[in-house]
């Protein structure tokens, strides 16, 4: 966990220097494809500082498969789709929705609007969740403050690391 925090700190300082020197930034095309979640941290409330502190991190066990798939939409505008799949034994739950990538800040906003549930490969539920149909209509007009998001502080060919809106860290590898 300390290594991830150090990478994040380094990325923050390099981001401002790189942007000033070469005006380069990551693009949404680097995120396209399937990623396997490998490591996550939790958070715990800090009474002394009134903020959020990271709880101990955990590597995910081999029998729990959590994958993120980022698909292309309008890459010029950083728009696309996300599919988050969780598989435990014969049960698989997939959530899908729109995404918007902000390359200068490396923020990827998302909202899950649709859920599919499978048992042994047989789909037994498919439908919108949380007013998904209505939320889909105005997702791209919402401000970043109104959306769930990840801030990517490491984007490599085979590895990505993020901090979620709530402060948690995650590490994924390319499938």
Q: Which has the closest alpha carbon to 148: 115, 101, 109?
A: 109
Check if the beta carbon of residue 79 is closer than 8 Å to that of residue 140. Answer: yes
> With contact defined as beta carbons under 8 Å apart, do 170 and 161 qualify?
yes
3-state secondary structure 128-158: ECCCHHHHHHHHHHCCHHHCEEEEEEEECCC
Tokens of 120: 């042994």
Average pLDDT of the segment spanning 68-95: 90
Give CA–CA dist 70/59, Å, rounded. Answer: 22
* Rounded mean pLDDT, 135-164: 90
Domain 2-174: which CATH class?
Answer: mainly beta
Q: How far apart (Å, rounded) are the C-alpha atoms in residues 82 and 96?
A: 6
The pLDDT, as a whole number, for residue 13 is 67
How many of the other CB atoms lie within 10 Å of CB of 71? Answer: 14
Cβ atoms of 127 and 102 closer than 8 Å: no
Query: pLDDT tens, 12-69?
Result: 666 555 544 443 445 668 889 999 999 998 766 544 555 556 567 899 999 999 999 9
> What's the gap between Cα 133 and its chain centre?
21
Q: State residue 131's pLDDT score.
A: 87
Please state the pTM of the whole predicted model: 0.80
């Amino acid at each position: 966990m300390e290594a991830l925090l150090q990478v994040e700190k380094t990325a923050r300082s390099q981001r401002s220097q790189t942007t000033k020197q070469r005006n380069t930034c990551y693009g949404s095309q680097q995120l396209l494809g399937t990623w396997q979640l490998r490591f996550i941290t939790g958070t715990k409330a800090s009474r002394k500082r009134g903020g959020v502190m990271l709880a101990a991190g955990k590597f995910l066990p081999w029998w729990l498969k959590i994958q993120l798939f980022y698909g292309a939409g309008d890459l010029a505008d950083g728009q696309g789709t996300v599919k988050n799949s969780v598989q435990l034994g014969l049960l698989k739950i997939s959530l899908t929705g729109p995404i918007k990538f902000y390359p200068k800040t490396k923020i990827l906003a998302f909202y899950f609007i649709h859920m599919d549930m499978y048992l042994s490969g047989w789909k037994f539920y498919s439908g919108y969740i949380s007013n998904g149909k209505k939320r889909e209509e105005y997702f791209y007009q919402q401000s970043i403050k109104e959306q769930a998001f990840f801030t990517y502080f490491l984007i490599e060919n085979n590895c990505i690391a993020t901090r979620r809106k709530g402060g948690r860290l995650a590490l994924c590898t390319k499938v």
